[in-house]
Amino acid sequence: MLIGEYIHTIDEKNRMSLPVKFRKELGKKVIITPGLDNCLFIFTVKEWEKVSKRLSDSDSDLSFLKADKRSFNRFMFGRATDVEIDSIGRVLVPEFLKERIGLKGKAAIIGVQDRVEVWNDEAWAKYKDVAEKQADELAEKLGNEKK
């Protein structure tokens, strides 16, 4: 399971080293896609297959309008990139994905169960701040939904 928060550098060659704790689970190749809430998602190949299957499944339970779904899939698939992890555990973050979330200098690398998220470090700090304030509230809400 991918968990934890790490702050790493993105250098001028767009290289970013992955936390050692993630490397075993990620293997030697990953899929980087635009994520939601202004971050990037990194999936293992296996996880990506699961995700993409469910996204393209025509009779899945996703309550998407067809048009919405098409455009969402373009967003996810059209800009997904598979990247090799180099011999010392770094990935190359494509320029257009970097730009998309305003990455430069420092990145926050977050393990979220089955995926890794990459954030502009400042954006992450802000997001965390807000999330924390809402956390109790949220936990309670989720708790109630289960009833």
Give contact residues for DNA (rule: CB under 7 A).
Answer: 6, 8-9, 11-20, 84, 86-90, 92, 95
Pairwise CA distance, residues 11 & 16, whole Å: 7
Instruction: Say whether residue 96 binds a second copy (CB under 8 A).
Output: yes
DSSP string, 74-128: HHHHHT-EEEE--TTSEEEPPHHHHHHTT--EEEEEEEEETEEEEEEHHHHHHHH
* Residue 83 backbone dihedrals phi, psi, to 5 degrees: -130, 140
Q: How far apart are the first and last CA of the chain?
A: 27
How many residues lie near a second copy (CB under 8 A)?
A: 55
Site for a second copy (CB under 8 A): which residue of 87, 129, 132, 147? 132
Q: Which residues pair with 2 in a beta bridge?
A: 113
Instruction: Say whether residue 1 binds a second copy (CB under 8 A).
Output: yes
Instruction: Say whether residue 70 binds a second copy (CB under 8 A).
Output: yes
Nearer to a second copy, 52 or 89 (CB): 52
What DSSP character marks residue 35? -
Query: Cβ 27 to DNA, closest distance in Å?
Result: 15
Query: Cβ 131 to a second copy, closest distance in Å?
Result: 5
Residues at the site binding a second copy, with contacts judged by CB under 8 A: 1-5, 21, 31, 35-37, 41, 50-52, 54-56, 61-62, 64-65, 67-68, 70-75, 77-82, 94, 96, 110-115, 117, 127-128, 131-132, 134-136, 138-139, 141-142
